[in-house]
Amino acid sequence: MSKVRHKVFPPSLRQWAWRLFSLAILLAFAWQFYQLSKKLDWVAFGRALARPGQWRLLLLAMVLMPVNWWLEARKWHLLLRVFLPWPFSRTWRAVLAGVSVSAATPNRVGEIGGRMLVAQREEWPGVVTSSVLGSACQWIAFLLLAWPSLMWTADLLLQEYLPFSVRWLWPLGPLLLLAGWWGGLPLLLKFMNWLESRWKLGLEEQRQGLEKVKLSLMLRAGVHACLRFSVYCLQLYLLLWFFGLELPLWRGLAGIAAIYLVQAGIPLPPGLNLVTRTELGMLLWESGPAAAADPANAVAILAAFTSLFAVNVLLPALPGYFLVVRNYDKS
């Protein structure tokens, strides 16, 4: 089979295809940075830097970036060990490679493809399966942390349209998690069995690995997902203060979590994701007591979301890009 593949795709053609792919990723970085630079109000950014002590908020948000991705790597490593005996250092490199490809894909779905680029072909099924489980763990954070935040921040708005009290909706998040666990995993196993019988795919190893995924493991990974989501929200909260929107601590963090929950279900490219989050932030905070009808807050919201994307995605994507290229050179 390998010889046939080499005849169809000679090494020179595959090498040029890889170079074009690498160039496309690099151009995506440049395009995203260019788009962000146009949206960012550099005058407001300079004023924020000039305010006494404000630079510490920006520095702390940047320091939390590796913490954010370390928690993601630890979460994925817990799940990946069921399928592949990777050391954490290799998991960390694969996570950065995933960031490099996901920077220009809708809802960062290219993250899995980037991780596959630093794995051997026979390791791909384990990488994909564990990454899907990692994405499912992210919904543990959404439903346990962001759902109550949404109910709290949107209480008055929802009460206008609901014939019952919003309090009845608060337990819905944990109930959905229980339903997802008891119903989701058996359905996934049945789907894999169907794929094996219908398409003759060799998924026995992945199916056995999924059978080893117990509730305790998902809860441990879910704790890492909740910690990472909390760090992410804290980063945006710091950047909002840095740009002059001084929100109350808990109300501000709850609003941020609610925005990410609403936006998570909309599969848009990163640039449009950024616009969606910004519009939701303006809707939430420009009408609140912290806004005080100050038009400068719209600039602060846009600048904060723009800066967070640059700090958490574009910056770690650059070393991830070079990891992908170096891995190809070695192989």
In this structure, are residues 243 and 48 in contact, taking their beta carbons and an 8 Å threshold? yes
Q: How many CB atoms lie within 10 A of CB 267?
A: 11
297 close to 288: Cβ distance less than 8 angstroms = no
How many CA atoms does the CB half-sphere of 282 hold within 13 Å? 15
What is the model's pTM?
0.78
Q: Does residue 2 register a pLDDT over 60?
A: no
Which of 187, 228, 218, 298 shows the shortest CA–CA distance to 72? 228
**Rounded distance between C-alpha atoms, residue 289 and residue 245, angstroms:** 11
- Please report, for residues 144, 184, 187, the alpha-carbon distance to residue 181 in angstroms, rounded to integers and kept in the order given: 14, 5, 10
| Domain ranges for the chain | 53-311
Q: Identify the H or E element spanning 187.
A: helix 185-199
The per-residue pLDDT of the chain, averaged, comes to 78
Residue 220 has pLDDT above 90, yes or no: yes
Rg of the chain over all Cα atoms, to the nearest angstrom:
22
Q: Compute the CA torsion angle 122, 220, 137, 193 (nearest 10 deg).
A: 50
pLDDT tens figures, 76-107: 999 999 999 999 999 998 998 888 777 666 55
The residue ranges of DSSP E strands in 164-236, in sequence order, are none
Distance, in Å, from the CA atom of 165 to the CA atom of 325, rounded to the nearest integer, reads 55
Residue 111, pLDDT > 60, answer yes
- Cα 227 from Cα 177, distance rounded (Å): 17
Q: Choose the most confident range, by mean pLDDT, from 80-89, 210-219, 265-274.
A: 80-89
Give me the amino acid identity at 312.
Answer: N
As a whole number of Å, the end-to-end CA separation of the chain is 18
Structure confidence at residue 6 (pLDDT): 46
Distances (CA, A) of 288 to 160, 165, 247, 248, 256: 17, 22, 10, 11, 14
In this prediction, residue 289 carries a pLDDT of: 45
